[in-house]
C-alpha cells in the first residue's frame, strides 16, 4: 500500500520534470537582448535594451536609475532608431528613483542604430546611450 502511494507521487513528478526539461531548449532558442549600461553626467545610471522578438517586432526599453533615490523627479527623454524619433516624452521617477519606458515597433530594414537621451529637468543631468545592431 505504501509503495502504491509513493509511486502515485513519483510518477507524476517525473513526468512534470521531463516535460519541463523538454521546454528549456525552446526557450533557450529565443533571441538574446542587447543591453548597454552607461553613467550619466552627474552619476545616475542609464540602461538601454534592444531585442528582436519572435514575432519580428523590435522591443526597446530605456531607463534611468538616479544616483539619489528620489521619487517624482521629471525627466524628458527621446529615443531614436536610425535618426528617426520612435519615443519621446516626460517620465517621473518612482519610489526607488528610477523610470523606464518601453516600446515595441516594426524594425527598420538593415541594422538598427538606437540612441536614447534623457535630461533631468531639475538638475540638468543628461544621459546618452546607444546600441548598434
Task: Indicate whether 2 pLDDT > 60.
Answer: no
Domain boundaries, the chain: 1-30, 34-132
The string of pLDDT tens digits covering residues 101-131 is 999 998 877 788 999 999 999 999 999 999 9
More confident call, 7 vs 96: 96
Say if residue 107 is exposed, middle or buried (CB neighbours under 10 Å; 0-12, 13-18, 19+). middle
Homologous superfamily, domain 34-132: Immunoglobulins (2.60.40.10)
pTM for the predicted model, two decimal places: 0.74
Kindly give the pairing relationship between strand 113-120 and strand 84-92. Answer: unpaired
Residue 98's pLDDT is: 97
Amino acid at each position: 500500500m505504501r509503495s502504491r502511494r509513493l509511486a502515485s507521487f513519483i510518477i507524476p513528478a517525473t513526468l512534470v520534470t521531463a516535460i519541463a526539461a523538454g521546454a528549456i531548449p525552446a526557450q533557450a532558442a529565443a533571441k538574446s537582448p542587447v543591453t548597454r549600461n552607461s553613467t550619466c553626467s552627474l552619476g545616475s545610471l542609464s540602461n538601454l535594451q534592444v531585442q528582436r522578438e519572435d514575432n519580428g517586432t523590435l522591443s526597446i526599453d530605456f531607463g534611468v536609475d538616479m544616483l539619489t533615490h528620489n521619487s517624482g523627479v521629471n525627466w524628458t527623454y527621446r529615443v531614436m532608431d536610425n535618426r528617426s524619433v520612435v519615443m519621446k516624452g516626460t517620465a517621473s521617477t518612482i519610489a526607488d528613483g528610477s523610470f523606464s519606458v518601453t516600446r515595441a515597433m516594426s524594425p527598420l530594414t538593415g541594422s538598427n542604430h538606437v540612441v536614447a537621451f534623457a535630461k533631468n529637468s531639475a538638475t540638468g543631468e543628461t544621459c546618452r546611450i546607444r546600441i548598434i545592431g
